[in-house]
Amino acid sequence: MDWTAINARMEAMARERKEQLVADRKAILVILRQAGIARVDARYDGYGDSGNIEDVTFEPDGVQLAAGKLEELKDFLWAVPYDLHPGFEINEGGCGEVTWDIAGDRIDVDHPERFVETNHYAHEDV
């Protein structure tokens, strides 16, 4: 197994994901601004090797996106924390919130991860 080639390919894939994330962000930002959305709040949850965006709200209240555009937004909002914490949905997983200030194009992620802690004690001939 050629570890140098494997590492190079993994780095290339990470760069491609980052570039796609930047392109998606620019495109979705235009859609959100055209819709008059000032802020997006989303909750996500992942565990047991799967996960998704649980809830998306907009400011101002009452603003809606077409179903296809909403799905694009949800995919992007999932990709943001996933890019920061790849694989967080494995086992006990993680969850969190993504907040996107549209005017300033600032995205904040609050991401707790879950884990199981085990304390093991073995005592022989005590």
pLDDT in the model for residue 115: 87
The contacts of residue 35 (CB under 8 Å, 6+ apart) are: 63, 64, 65
Does residue 83 form part of some domain? yes
pLDDT at 1 over 90: no
How many separate domains does the chain show? 1
Q: How far is CA 23 from the centre of its chain?
A: 16
| pLDDT tens figures, 3-19 | 999 999 989 988 999 99
Question: Does 124 reside within a domain?
Answer: no
Percent share of the chain, pLDDT over 90:
83
Residue 32 clears pLDDT 90, i.e. is over it: yes
What are the pLDDT digits (tens) for 42-76?
A: 999 999 989 999 999 999 999 999 989 999 999 99
Domain that includes residue 18, residue range = 3-110
* pLDDT at residue number 14: 87
d(CA 24, CA 11): 20
Residue 70 token pair:
């909403």
pLDDT at 113: 92
Confidence of residue 82 (pLDDT cuts 50, 70, 90): very high
Q: Which pLDDT value is given to residue 44?
A: 96
- 79 residue type, one letter: A
Q: Is residue 123 part of a domain?
A: no
Does a structural domain hold residue 57? yes
